[in-house]
Structures are given as C-alpha cells and as structure tokens.
Amino acid sequence: MKWHLHLYLSPTAPRDRMCLFALPALFTPLDKILATLGEGTFGKVVKVKDLHADHVMALKIIKNVEKYREAAKLEINALEKIAEKDPECRHLCVKMLDWFDYHGHMCIAFEMLGLSVFDFLKDNNYQPYPLETVRHVAYQLCYSVKFLHDNKLTHTDLKPENILFVDSDFEITYNSKKKRDIRRVKRTDVRLIDFGSATFDHEHHSTIVSTRHYRAPEVILELGWSQPCDVWSIGCIIFELYLGITLFQTHDNREHLAMMERILGPIPYRMARKTKTKYFYHGKLDWDEKSSAGRYVRENCKPLHRYQNSDDEDHRQLFDLIARMLEYEPSSRLTLGEALRHPFFDKIPPHQRLGDFRGAGNEGRERSHSLSR
C-alpha cells in the first residue's frame, strides 16, 4: 500500500521549522497529527492518523539541513533494498510505508510501533528485563542483524533506542524486595529501526561510527571496521537489558579503553601497535590508575563475569555469549550465525523461532543475495 502524505507548512514559518498540519493533494482533511513521538538533532517523529483509512503511522520529518537530508536519502535507499529482499518483514526490520520530499524536508512514513527497549527500561526505573525477555529480544536482534550482514550491510548504530517493541503494553506486578511496582511488557516481539548510518560493504566507511557506549574497540582505535562492530554493539545491548545499566558509561576514548581493559582484560598487543591513535605507549594503554579518572574506572568497573546475578546455567550461558561478542579482535568475534547456535538460545520456544533457526541450530541454509545489487 502506498501512503501519500502532504505536509502543509505555514507560509510565515522559516523553512527549517516544521508546522504540523497534514493535507492531501486536494487540501481536504485526510491526515491528522496526533502526537510527537520523539525529537532529535535530525528533526522529529510524529504519530499521524490517516482519517480515510483509519490507520495510524509514524512520520519521520527531517530538518532541511543538507547533512540530515543526505542521511535520510541513505536510510531510504537501505530501507528500499531491505524491502526488496524481505517484503514480508520476516527479518524484523521496520517497514517503510512511503517517503517524500516536501520543500527540502525529507519525510519517511513507517508502521507504528511501541516504545524502544530503552524507553521502556527508563519508564520502569531501570529495572532489568526478566531473563526470558532478554533471551527473546537478543535472539531477534541477532536474527535481524544477521540478515543485514548476509546482505553486505552493517547497521553501525545498534543501541537500545533503536530496538522497538511491536507493542509495549505492560502489566504491573508488585516487587516486595524492591517495594515498588514493576512493569512487565506483555509481548516481547521487536523491530530494528534507524538505518540512517547503515553502510553497504562497497560504500565509503566513515572513520567513526556507532553511539559512544556501543562503539567497538577497532572503531575507537581507527583500525577500520565491518560487520563485527555490530556484534560488539549487540553484546553491550544484551548486558544492558540484563542489568539495566550501561556497560561502558563514559564520554572519553582513553577512559573507554581503560574500562574495556578493566572488564575484559588487556587490549591485544597487535591492535595497540597497529593503531595510529595516541592512547598507547610501547603497546600498553597510557593510563594513570592513580588519577581521579583511574579511581572512577577501578571503583565502577569489574571483570565481566562478576556482573552475573546468578550461578545458574542460563546466566552462565548468557555471559559466555556476551564475552564472545566482546572479543577485542574483530576476526575472533562471534558471527551472528554462530551466536544464533549458542546454547543460550536453545530454550527459545518453537513458536518464537525464526527462519532457518526454527530447528536445532543450523546456520542459514539459504544465504540472501546481496542487497547492494
């Protein structure tokens, strides 16, 4: 189905200000803006109701600024290629309904989804998700991003804000230990969003990608990156869903690397020697452990396995999966095909299994053709 949305911008409004009225070509009321779903540097996302079809969708309206317009065009290109290969959205990427350019504002209409896994966590006072929710969300995320990787695409901006529940309705239970109500999402199906930074193998690779907390070491060290940088991000995301806290809470490259060493052990000598960045001296991280930043890292970070909440086998398997996703060397890092065969996902019930991973873990028998063709 094609959606034809036409925004009306007030003639008195500056070109980069978006006035939220929606009219069809003949200027009879058809589309009504119900709410603002989110705002960012790029523009905003609004909830729109098509009064004719009685259908609600999310409309992403991009500021009339060249770099954001170009990013929107790249996102549209990626989404169109994804839709060609997966018209039924079986690989859990958000469905684009239509797009158009209105006086320099790129506008993209999407299916309406629920809250992001981050917003749900925040609204729930950062109470971690139950293990079975972590398992199902992680499984879907690996499956969806594997589809991108099989088709020569790297998402490059995986984070909890870019994973949305299809429906974020919840039930409330009282937690006597915490002495507070806890929200539990009723349905754990998710969709992957925000392909504005997605990069095909043959395209120019920016030096720095990913949101800071989910950025892989090879990106920080400017050693070049490809699909394994997404796997690192997924490891960080799974940890956050399980504990309700960010694994690497920092805004500085050197401190970020120090946190990695505290949690995961020393950065490999090969990577330290190869980087042109100035964070190492004779192959060792140049970091003063006695400084205030050094004390902060020591007091707030600990070896990965010590974050495990239980010695149960399920929790042990989860941390084994995370550790394999957080291998420093990209070539040694788990692939997502291997991740989907990890024992942690053996307990995914049959009705939640997807595609070639419905049976007992065999890697995708049919690889998709490249999206970039």
Residues 165/120, Cβ–Cβ less than 8 Å: yes
Indicate the residue type of 228: P
Q: What share of the chain is helix, strand, coil (3-state, %, to 5)?
A: 35, 20, 45
CB atoms within 10 A of CB 270: 12
**Which residues are known binding-site members for ATP?**
60
Compute CA distances 221 → 154, 262, 320, 332, whole Å: 19, 17, 25, 17
Q: Alpha-carbon distance 107 to 96, whole Å?
A: 11
Phi, psi values for residue 153, rounded to 5°: -125, 140
Indicate the residue type of 155: H
Q: Angle between the 228-243 and 131-150 helix axes, to the nearest 10 degrees?
A: 170
- If residue 74 lies in a helix (H) or strand (E), which one and from where to where? helix 66-85
Burial class (CB in 10 A: 0-12, 13-18, 19+), 145: buried
- As beta bridge partners, residue 13 has none
- Token pair of 210 as six digits: 């990913």
DSSP E strand stretches across the chain? 7-8, 21-22, 31-40, 43-50, 55-62, 96-102, 105-111, 153-154, 163-165, 170-175, 180-185, 190-192, 199-200, 280-281, 284-285
Q: Is 98 a catalytic residue?
A: no
Catalytic residue among 31, 150, 157, 194: 157
Q: Alpha-carbon distance 179 to 4, whole Å?
A: 50
Q: Alpha-carbon distance 243 to 83, whole Å?
A: 34
- Residue 5 CA to its chain's centroid (Å): 28
- Token pair of 294 as six digits: 């050094």
Q: In a 3-state reduction of DSSP, which class is residue 164?
A: strand
The residues carrying an active-site annotation are 157
